[in-house]
Amino acid sequence: MSLKLGAMLPEVMKHLFKKVATVPYPFRKLTVPPGFRGNPVMDPNLCIGCQMCVRDCPSEALEIKKESERTDEQGKVIKRFSMTFYLDRCSHCAQCQEICPKKAIVLNDQFEEAAFDRGALKIIYK
C-alpha cells in the first residue's frame, strides 16, 4: 500500500457535517438494555431464608436476618426475613439472582451509585 499525504483528510472533513457520537451526560442519559445487571432488589414476601445468596456472593455483600416468626390458623409457621445489602461491596455478578430458589432477588437498572456518605450505601429490604 503506497503512502498518501493526508490520508485521513477526506474522512475528517466529512465529520464536520455529521452528528456527534457522544452524549452530553449528565444532561442527557442513555437507557440500558433489558437484562442489565444493576443493584439487587429483594422482595421480602418471597424470601424463605435459605441463605444460598449469602453463601454464593463473592464479595460478602448480603446479609439475611430473620425479622419475625408467627404461626397461622392452619398451624403453618411463617417466617419473614430482611436483607441488608452493602452497595459498596457488590460486584454486580447476579449470582444471588441466579441461585435464589424463589426468585426473590432481581437486579434493577440502576448504575449511578455515588454517594457522599458510606451509610447511604447500606440498603435494607424489610
Partner 1 sequence: MGTFILPVGPQHPALKEPTSFRFLVDGETVVDADLRLGYNHRGIEKGAESRTYVQNLYLLERVCGICSNAHMTCFAQGVEKLMGLEPPKRGLFIRCLMGELERVHSHLLWLGVAGHEVGFDTFFMYTWRDREIVQDMLEMISGNRVNYGMQTFGGVRRDLDEMQIKKLLEGIAALKARTPYYLNLGASEPTLVARIAGVGKLPLEKAVELNAVGPTARASGWKSDVRQDDPYAGFGEFIPFNIVTDQGGDVLARVVVRAKELMETYNICEYILKNLPAGEVRVKAPRKVPEGEVVSRVEAQRGEDVHYVRSNGTDKPDRVKVRAPTLANWPSTLYMLRGGYVADIPIVMAAIDPCLSCTDRMAIITDVKRGSEQVMDWETLRKHGIEFYRKRGIKL
Partner 2 sequence: MDILKVFLYILVYPGLLFLFIYSTFVEWVDRKLYAKFQNRMGPMHTGSHGLLQPIADFVKLMAKEDIVPDSADKGLFNAVPVFALAAVLASGLLLPVWHFAKGIESATSFQGDIIVMAYLLALPTFAYFLAGWTSTSMYAAMGGVRVLTLLFAYEVPMFLAILSPAIMTGSWRLADIAAYFQAHPLYMLFNLIGFAVGVVALQAKLERVPFDIPHAETEVVGGAFTEYSGRKLAMFRLLADVQMVVGAGFLSALFLGGFPGGLIPGFIWFVIKTLAVVFILSAMRAVTARIRIDQMVAFSWQYLAPLALLQLVIVIFIKGYMP
Nearer to partner 1, 9 or 124 (CB): 9
Measure the CA–CA gap between 94 and 25, rounded to whole angstroms: 27
56 touches which of partner 1, partner 2, none (CB within 5 to 8 A by kind)? partner 1
To partner 1, the closest distance from the beta carbon of 19 in angstroms equals 12
| Closest by Cα among 44, 50, 46, 26 to 85 | 44
Whether 105 contacts 125, CB under 8 Å: no
Contact residues: partner 2, CB under 8 A: 6-9, 12-13, 15-16, 18, 20-22, 24
Asked if 11 is part of the footprint of partner 1 (rule: CB under 8 A), the reply reads yes
37 touches which of partner 2, partner 1, none (CB within 5 to 8 A by kind)? partner 1
Nearer to partner 1, 12 or 77 (CB): 12
Whether 41 contacts 56, CB under 8 Å: no
78 touches which of partner 2, partner 1, none (CB within 5 to 8 A by kind)? none
Whether 41 contacts 107, CB under 8 Å: yes
Measure the CA–CA gap between 96 and 94, rounded to whole angstroms: 5
To partner 1, the closest distance from the beta carbon of 23 in angstroms equals 11
The full 3-state SS of 87-111, as one line of letters, equals: CCCCCCCCHHHHHCCCCCEEECCCC
Binding site residues, partner 1, CB under 8 A: 1-5, 7-8, 11-12, 21, 32-33, 35-37, 55-58, 91-95, 98, 107
